[in-house]
């Protein structure tokens, strides 16, 4: 059975792009594989943050993942900082990670260029920690958005380089990118990915948004000067809305284009809004029911961390032995 690892960073609220590009797929994967999912709070410290906010956002995100359908009986769900094997493996893998490779990472260039405060070494080292997150569990598959392709390719190279130098120890995972919904764009700037960083409030649909807020944001989404509901390089806004509705309904984009052929943008936007409301309502309602019981959440995360350590510790022991650390 394949083993899947994926993580999500607790930096701001979960938005529609997170949900359809990653989380909903995680829920579906629980039945077909060994599924390991993680709130990657250590990644959040690569940029300036407030400790109290990080604690709160990590808990809220974990609760949202449960509300979205992750089942601790069918997957492992834990907080990254609770499993110290991640940080130890990061240091060990630094021996086979090229400085030049890290220097070529697009996300480091983009984020460091926008940073007004200290550009930390942790930000530069982000891809090594990401590699450790996956390689510590000998995961065979990594489901990510297209923007993470470069990081996963580096992860694969790190694993190959380690095995070439120290012997076959690590699994080289496969990259999985969903065909539809892998990259949901900002509603106001459809050339840019929907994101919690540098996001406009009007351009980002959050999973916990009330239906009225979702309808307002979709109603004011940027389109173009035409009237055709079709995909195209000259129609970034409409293409994004077609992708969103296709994901919400579970159909392909061509079906959406055929349904709205000859319709105006107004009717189309209303349909997209209703599709998103229907998609997110169950998650929002389940979250409201889970939110009061913080103790139950912490117990779930602690149990998940214990299961994660049971998988990661033997891998770390193998890595240490292969590298010459420990008793002769």
Cα–Cα–Cα angle for 205, 209, 212, nearest 5°? Answer: 100
**Nearest alpha-carbon partner for 304 in 32, 29, 80:** 80
Cα–Cα dist 200/187, whole Å: 9
Contacts for 80 with CB less than 8 Å, ≥ 6 apart:
7, 38, 39, 40, 41, 42, 43, 86, 133
Indicate the SS3 state at residue 91: helix
Listed residue (179, 168, 173) closest to 2, CA to CA: 173
* DSSP codes of every residue in 228-270: -----TT-HHHHHHHHHHHHHHT--HHHHHHHTTT--HHHHHH
pLDDT over 60 at 180, yes or no: no
User: At 8, which helix (H) or strand (E)?
Assistant: strand 3-8
Domains and CATH numbers, the chain: 3-176+293-323 (3.40.50.620), 201-288 (1.10.240.10)
Is it the case that residue 181 has pLDDT exceeding 70?
no
pTM above 0.95, yes or no: no
pLDDT tens-place string over residues 202-261:
899 999 999 999 999 999 999 887 788 888 888 899 999 999 999 899 898 999 999 998
Strand 34-39 to strand 3-8: parallel, antiparallel, or no bridges (unpaired)? parallel
Q: What 3-state DSSP class applies to 175?
A: strand
- pLDDT for the residue 1: 83
Span 285-319, pLDDT tens digits: 999 999 999 999 999 999 999 999 999 999 999 99
pLDDT of residue 263: 83
Instruction: Encode 275-289: b = buried (16+ Cβ within 10 Å), e = exposed.
Output: bbbebbeebbebbee
């Amino acid at each position: 059975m394949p083993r899947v690892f994926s993580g999500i960073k607790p930096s701001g609220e979960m938005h529609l792009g997170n949900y359809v590009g990653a989380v909903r797929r995680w829920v579906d994967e629980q039945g077909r594989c060994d599924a390991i999912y993680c709130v990657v709070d250590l990644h959040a410290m690569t940029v300036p943050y407030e400790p109290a906010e990080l604690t709160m956002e990590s808990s809220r995100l974990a609760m949202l993942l449960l509300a979205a359908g992750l089942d601790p009986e069918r997957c492992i769900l834990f907080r990254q900082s609770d499993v110290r094997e991640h940080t130890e493996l990061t240091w060990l893998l630094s021996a086979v990670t090229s400085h030049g490779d890290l220097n070529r990472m697009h996300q480091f260039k983009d984020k460091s260029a926008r940073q007004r405060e200290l550009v930390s070494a942790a930000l530069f080292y982000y891809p090594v920690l990401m590699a450790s997150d996956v390689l510590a569990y000998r995961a065979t598959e990594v489901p990510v958005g297209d923007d993470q392709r470069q990081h996963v390719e580096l992860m694969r190279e790190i694993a190959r380089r380690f095995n070439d130098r120290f012997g076959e120890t690590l699994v080289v995972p496969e990259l999985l990118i969903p065909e539809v919904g892998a990259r949901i764009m900002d509603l106001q700037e459809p050339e840019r990915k929907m994101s919690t960083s540098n996001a406009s409030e009007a351009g980002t649909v959050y999973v916990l948004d009330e239906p009225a807020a979702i309808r307002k944001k979709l109603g004011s989404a940027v389109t173009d000067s035409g009237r055709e509901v079709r995909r195209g390089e000259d129609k970034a806004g409409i293409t994004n809305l077609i992708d969103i509705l296709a994901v919400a309904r579970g159909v392909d984009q061509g079906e959406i284009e055929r349904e709205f052929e000859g319709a105006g943008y107004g009717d189309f936007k209303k349909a997209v809004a209703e599709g998103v409301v229907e998609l997110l309502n169950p998650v929002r309602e389940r979250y409201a029911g889970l939110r009061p019981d913080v103790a139950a959440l912490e117990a779930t995360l602690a149990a998940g961390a214990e299961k994660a350590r049971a998988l990661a510790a033997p891998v770390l022991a193998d890595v240490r032995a292969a590298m010459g650390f420990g008793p002769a």
